[in-house]
Amino acid sequence: MTQQKISMQLQCPMPAFDFDVITLGHGSGGLLTRKLLESGVFEIFNNPFLNEKHDGAYLNLPGNCAFTTDSFVVSPIFFPGGNIGELAVNGTVNDLAMCGAIPKYLSLSFILEEGLRMEEFWEILVSIKTACQKAGVHIVTGDTKVVEKGKGDKIFINTSGIGQLHPASSIRLNRIKAGDKIILNGNIATHGIAIMSVREGLTFESDIISDTMALNETVMALLDEFGQQIHFLRDPTRGGVATTLSEIARDGGVGIEIVEKYLPIDEQVAGACEILGLDPVYVANEGVFISIVDEKIADKYLTTLKGLEQGKNAAIIGEVVIAHPKQVVLTSKIGGKRVVNMLAGDQLPRIC
Amino acid sequence: MTQQKISMQLQCPMPAFDFDVITLGHGSGGLLTRKLLESGVFEIFNNPFLNEKHDGAYLNLPGNCAFTTDSFVVSPIFFPGGNIGELAVNGTVNDLAMCGAIPKYLSLSFILEEGLRMEEFWEILVSIKTACQKAGVHIVTGDTKVVEKGKGDKIFINTSGIGQLHPASSIRLNRIKAGDKIILNGNIATHGIAIMSVREGLTFESDIISDTMALNETVMALLDEFGQQIHFLRDPTRGGVATTLSEIARDGGVGIEIVEKYLPIDEQVAGACEILGLDPVYVANEGVFISIVDEKIADKYLTTLKGLEQGKNAAIIGEVVIAHPKQVVLTSKIGGKRVVNMLAGDQLPRIC
């Protein structure tokens, strides 16, 4: 057990549940569900919305909002640098941030497999709480289902979220225009390689840990300063930077050019990609976001971003062009150019 | 294939997918995910929110709202009277209605098991669309994950929803008071028995079909007429009427008395419960809601409810009392009284 995990458990010691594992009865909606929730789950997320204990939460929402959903099925559920719980919070928080919204309220829905150990479940719950606190969001409504052993895989989590649009944000595909610069905040391919290293039993000189983190504070600071000059934001999770840029090019009807040598990547991660035969532009990220900004502010944007903890490895990696609409062209390290498509097949199943 | 299913498919014929089953690649976030979505999924749910194709939907929300979430793991995924798709829509729509909210926007998140047949998936999608149309809600954001064969069970669905509070509604546990009448809109135990009949291979003189339906129109009509005189609403799904009333008694700190002979139930369903050794007060419902209303309006409320299609079997089943706070007491058909607790154990796992 890592030091971090121990300290988290010290803050939220596991209650004395009178069962060691999840059983089907915990999903019955009856006494056992209630026992599970009242033994500590309600308490750990304690807030006035949840405490109403109704079928939903009453919220006063401020007009312009964003609404998003994600189900998380990552395997293994514990991985270097995190677990499925914080991943689920950060993932939905980041989707809201990418809409230019200040994340506010999350729902939390579990599909548990019979036999899940309460220790594991509790550790995940504590991570969810910690991640919510870091991101400044509340779990306001939830649901718990249980499926028979062999009909699930330990735990699947859905988080849906509501955020309040930042007043200065205007993030839409149709705002992307030729000349816009494409900027990454940090190193790519880290999450995917962290997961793969566990699955493949690889070891490295120093640990490669997932970059799962909430990006909302950084994004809001950028929106405060640059407002509508930020034309588009998206976090390249499943499918990596290449797939996300391909989607943006297709859906936005624009051409995109990127330069391989500008892509920030940790040396060890790059090495691992080589060993595993993976192209890092297709490998999943959890703490990376792509900004597409007006060329006039690009240098200043980069400077601001580099001054923030989550942007210290930031780089301008390319631009939006008039040529080859709907296509992404990458200039490789040896100077050749190739079209970059979406990820084909299933390079890394269940990465998030 | 039933007549109903055929007619649904005629309205939304299955597109010519170039794959027969779901594969892991459909959850990659890459080309295959895109193919799946663009082969008909985006089109079937076509609306301006979804068409933005961003990480979340932009919504203009009207201040006082309700927000809810539910994951659906019902087995089998097709059952008499419905399937997991419409169940997922109706379930979340009903949770919003129980908050006194007009359901507006849903998110839709799939966890698919590798090998799910596209025919089945399409039929579920069509049911989701049909259910959304009936309930007047839009799918505005979504997610699709795929897990390996044996790590899921065909399909799990999460729907989260946002509704606008009905201006006259004030539905809170603390509004329940002694003297309030407890009213059911219709026959209990139907959904549970419909599912059990498939699992146990039971046949009846006429089909027992699930009562899955959206209750929002009926509830809104009642709120229009009775407003704040409706003190509480809840749909007794998992755990049945007994569990839900027990929860209300405990969380609201009130005593509840109900009379068994007043509980509306279909004769065949009652017979099936007897055969299966199930107490119908613990059997799941999907089209039933409990109203707790001011005693002064109870008779008029019942009359209005009985005049509505979804209330034709409505009945006053009991009342809120000062005696035995936090307990539900049932007067049995032979006149004895007993305390009714929450469902213990897992009578009917994966009922929704």
Q: Give residue for tokens 């121990």.
A: A6
Triad B214, B220, B221: Cα angle to 5° = 110
Domain boundaries, given as residue ranges, for chain B: 3-165, 173-340
Pick the CATH number of B173-340 from 3.90.650.10, 1.10.10.10, 3.90.1150.10, 3.40.718.10: 3.90.650.10
How is residue B173 written in tokens? 């546990």
Decide if A54 and B171 are in contact by the 8 Å CB cutoff: yes
Q: What region does A227 belong to: left with phi over 0, alpha with psi -120 to 50, or beta? A: left
Contact criterion met (CB below 8 Å) for B189 and B283 = yes
pLDDT value at position B2? 43
Decide if B64 and A58 are in contact by the 8 Å CB cutoff: yes
Amino acid making up residue B203: T
> Residue A111: which H helix or E strand, with range?
strand A101-113
**A300-343 pLDDT per residue, tens:** 999 999 999 999 999 999 999 999 999 999 999 999 999 999 99
**B145-168 pLDDT per residue, tens:** 999 999 999 999 999 999 999 999
pLDDT value at position B52? 85
Closest CA to A12 of A168, A153, A131: A131
CB pairs under 8 A between A and B: 287
Search chain B and give the residue with CA nearest A160.
B160
Parallel, antiparallel, or unpaired: how do β-strands B315-321 and B230-234 relate?
unpaired
**B236-257 pLDDT per residue, tens:** 999 999 999 999 999 999 999 9
Render the burial of A12-26: b for 16+ CB within 10 Å, e for the rest.
Answer: beeeeeeeebbbbbb
Min Cα distance A3 → chain B (Å) is 31
Q: What region does A109 belong to: left with phi over 0, alpha with psi -120 to 50, or beta? A: beta
Sign (positive/negative) of CA torsion B180, B182, B185, B191?
positive
The partner residues of A83 in beta bridges, in order of sequence, read A78
The partner residues of A280 in beta bridges, in order of sequence, read none
Q: What is the Cα B121 distance to its own chain's centre?
A: 20
Contact criterion met (CB below 8 Å) for B12 and B126 = yes
Give the count of beta carbons closer than 10 Å to the beta carbon of residue A39. 17
Decide if B64 and A57 are in contact by the 8 Å CB cutoff: no
The DSSP call for residue A313 is T
CA separation for the pair B273, B38 (Å, rounded): 45
Closest CA to A141 of A173, A116, A106, A175: A106
CA separation for the pair B22, B35 (Å, rounded): 12
- Indicate the residue of B25, B57, B109 with minimum beta-carbon distance to A67: B57
Positions of chain A with pLDDT under 50: 1-3, 5-7, 9-10
> Residue B275: which H helix or E strand, with range?
helix B267-276
Decide if A350 and B147 are in contact by the 8 Å CB cutoff: yes
Decide if B344 and A32 are in contact by the 8 Å CB cutoff: yes
Beginning with the edge strand found earlier in the chain, give each strand of the sheet holding A315-321 in spatial order.
A230-234, A290-293, A181-184, A315-321, A255-259, A328-331, A337-340
Search chain A and give the residue with CA nearest B72.
A145
Amino acid making up residue A30: G
Distances B279 to B73, B247, B338 between C-alpha atoms, Å: 23, 18, 13
The partner residues of A233 in beta bridges, in order of sequence, read A291
Note the CATH number of domain A3-165: 3.30.1330.10
CA separation for the pair A311, A245 (Å, rounded): 19
- Indicate the residue of B64, B105, B146 with minimum beta-carbon distance to A60: B64
Q: Give residue for tokens 């399937």.
A: B83
Amino acid making up residue A115: G
pLDDT value at position A202? 84
How is residue B73 written in tokens? 């793991």
**B173-222 pLDDT per residue, tens:** 999 999 999 999 999 999 999 999 998 888 888 889 999 999 999 999 99
Residues of A in contact with B102 (CB under 8 A): none
**B32-87 pLDDT per residue, tens:** 999 999 988 889 999 999 988 888 999 999 899 999 999 999 999 999 999 999 99
- Indicate the residue of B60, B71, B348 with minimum beta-carbon distance to A109: B71
CA separation for the pair A268, A206 (Å, rounded): 8
Give the count of beta carbons closer than 10 Å to the beta carbon of residue B337. 9
Min Cα distance B169 → chain A (Å) is 12
Q: DSSP letter string over B35-60?
A: HHIIIIIHHHT--HHHHT-SSSEEEE
Residues of B in contact with A348 (CB under 8 A): 28
How is residue B132 written in tokens? 């959304």
- What ranges in A253-346 are assigned the alpha helix state H? 267-276, 298-306
CA separation for the pair A289, A186 (Å, rounded): 8
